[in-house]
Amino acid sequence: MKENLKTVLREKIAFSQGKIDWISHIGVAGFALAASRAAVLHQAVPFGLSVLAGCPYALMPSAAVGAFLGYFFPAITVGGFRYLAAMLAIFAIRLLTAGYPKAENNPILLTTVCLFANGLTAAVTVRALPADLSMLVGETVLAAIGTYAVFRTTRAWKNIYSGLTADELACILATVGIVLLIADGIKIADLSIGQVFSVLLILLCARYGGTLGGVLGGAVCCGAVLLSGGCTAAAMTFAFGGLTVGCLVAFGKYIQVLGLLATACVGIMVGAGSPESAMVLVEALLGCALFLMMPRTVGIWLGRFLSCTPKVATPNGVKKAVTLRLNRSAGALNDVCETVEQVARELNRINAPDFSEVLSGIEREACSGCKLRIHCWESKHDETMNAILLMTAAVKDGTEFHEKIVPEEFRGRCLRLGAVFRAVEKNYSFYASRTAAENRLEEVRGVVTDQFDGISHMLSDLARDLKEEERFDASAALTAVSALKNLDIRVEESAAFTDAFGRMTVECKLRKPPERVLNKLEMMKQLSFALERDFDVPNVSEVGGDIFLTVSERTVYRLNIGIHQFNAQQSAICGDSVNTFSDGKGRTFILLSDGMGTGGRAAVDSAMAVGLMARLLKAGFGFDCSLRILNSSMLFKSTDESLATVDIAAVDLFNGTVQLLKAGAAPTLVRRSGRTGKAESTSLPAGILREVGFDRATFKLHKGDVLLLMSDGAVCDGTDWMAEELDRWDNTDATALAEHLCLSAARRRTDRHEDDITVIAAILERAV
- Per-residue pLDDT of 465-484, as tens digits, reads 666 555 677 778 888 887 88
**Helix locations, 619-696, DSSP H:** 623-636
pLDDT interval class at 181 (50, 70, 90)? confident
User: Residue 709 — pLDDT band, cuts 50, 70, 90?
Assistant: very high
Provide the pLDDT for residue 610. Answer: 87
- Count CB atoms within 10 A of the CB of residue 757: 27
Q: For residue 406, what pLDDT is reported?
A: 81
pLDDT of residue 761: 93
Mean pLDDT of 716-730: 87
Query: C-alpha angle with apex 172: 168 to 175, nearest 5 degrees?
Result: 140
Mean pLDDT of 96-117: 76
User: What per-residue confidence (pLDDT) applies to 18?
Assistant: 43
* pLDDT, position 13: 44
Cα separation of 356 and 376, whole Å?
16
Residue 539 — very low, low, confident or very high, per pLDDT cuts 50/70/90?
Answer: confident
| pLDDT recorded at residue 440 | 63
Residue with the larger pLDDT of the pair 35 and 76: 35
The least confident of 59-73, 122-136, 526-540, 640-654 is 122-136
Pairing of strands 546-552, 646-652: unpaired
- Return the HEC string of 216-229: HHHHHHHHHHHHCC
Domain range annotation of the chain: 1-159, 187-308, 319-468, 471-552, 557-766
Confidence bin at 759 (pLDDT 50/70/90):
very high
Q: CA 109, CA 646: separation in Å to the nearest integer?
A: 67
pLDDT of residue 464: 65
Residue range 102-113: average pLDDT? 77
In the prediction, which pLDDT does 608 show?
83
In this structure, of 253-262, 341-350, 392-401, 714-723, the range with the lowest mean pLDDT score is 341-350
Alpha helices in 274-416 (DSSP H): 275-293, 296-306, 315-351, 355-366, 373-374, 381-397, 408-413
Q: What mean pLDDT, rounded, does the chain reach? A: 76
Name the E strands within 103-196: 187-188, 191-192
pTM score above 0.85: no
| pLDDT higher than threshold 80 for residue 64 | yes
- Percent above pLDDT 90 for the chain: 7
Domain covering 471-552: architecture: 2-Layer Sandwich (3.30)
Q: How confident is the model at residue 387 (pLDDT cuts 50, 70, 90)?
A: confident
φ, ψ dihedrals at 682, nearest 5°: -115, 5
- Contact at 8 Å (CB) between 361 and 423? yes
pLDDT bracket for residue 705 (50, 70, 90): very high
Q: Is the pLDDT of residue 1 over 70?
A: no
pLDDT confidence tier of residue 647, bands split at 50, 70 and 90? very high
760 pLDDT band, cuts 50/70/90, is very high
The mean-pLDDT minimum among 27-31, 649-653, 662-666 falls in: 27-31
Residue 164 has pLDDT above 70, yes or no: no
pLDDT tens-digit series, residues 286-328: 888 888 888 877 776 676 566 654 333 344 555 555 665 556 5
Question: What pLDDT, on the 0 to 100 scale, is given for residue 442?
Answer: 66
Residue 143 makes CB contacts below 8 A (sequence gap 6+) with 46, 47, 49, 50, 53, 114, 115, 118
**Can you give the pLDDT at residue 362?**
79
Supply the pLDDT for residue 352: 62
Choice between 681 and 126, residue whose per-residue pLDDT is larger:
681
Q: What is the predicted pLDDT for the residue at 430?
A: 82
Higher-scoring residue by pLDDT: 19, 107:
107
pLDDT at 634 over 60: yes
Domain 557-766 -> CATH class: alpha beta
Q: Could you tell me how many helices (H) and strands (E) the chain has, helices first?
A: 26, 17
Report how far residue 145's alpha carbon sits from residue 123's, in angstroms, rounded to the nearest whole number.
Answer: 19
Reported as a single tens digit per residue, the pLDDT across 204-247 is: 888 777 777 888 888 888 888 887 777 777 778 778 888 888 88
Grade residue 272 by pLDDT with cuts at 50, 70 and 90: low
Mean pLDDT over 88-92 rounds to 83
What is the phi/psi pair of residue 653, to 5°? -80, 0
Contacts of 731 (CB under 8 A, 6+ apart): 737
pLDDT in tens, 665-681: 889 999 988 888 888 87
* Segment 502-530 mean pLDDT: 79
Beta-carbon count within 10 A of 575 CB: 29
Q: Could you give phi then psi for residue 725, rounded to 5 degrees?
A: -60, -40
Residues in the chain, how many?
Answer: 768
319: nearest Cα among 162, 509, 456: 162
Q: Is the dihedral of CA 315, 320, 321, 323 positive or negative?
A: positive
pLDDT at 17: 40
Predicted confidence (pLDDT) at residue 706 exceeds the cutoff of 90: yes
Tens digits of residue pLDDT in 392-446: 888 877 777 777 778 878 877 887 888 888 888 888 788 787 777 666 666 666 6
Is the pLDDT at 503 greater than 70? The verdict is yes
Q: Please say if the pLDDT value at position 754 is more than 80.
A: no
What does the alpha-carbon distance between residue 63 and residue 50 come to, in Å, rounded to a whole number? Answer: 10
Q: Please give the share of the chain, as a percent, with pLDDT higher than 70.
A: 76
Report which of residues 597 and 175 the model is more confident about.
Answer: 175
Type of residue numbered 42: H
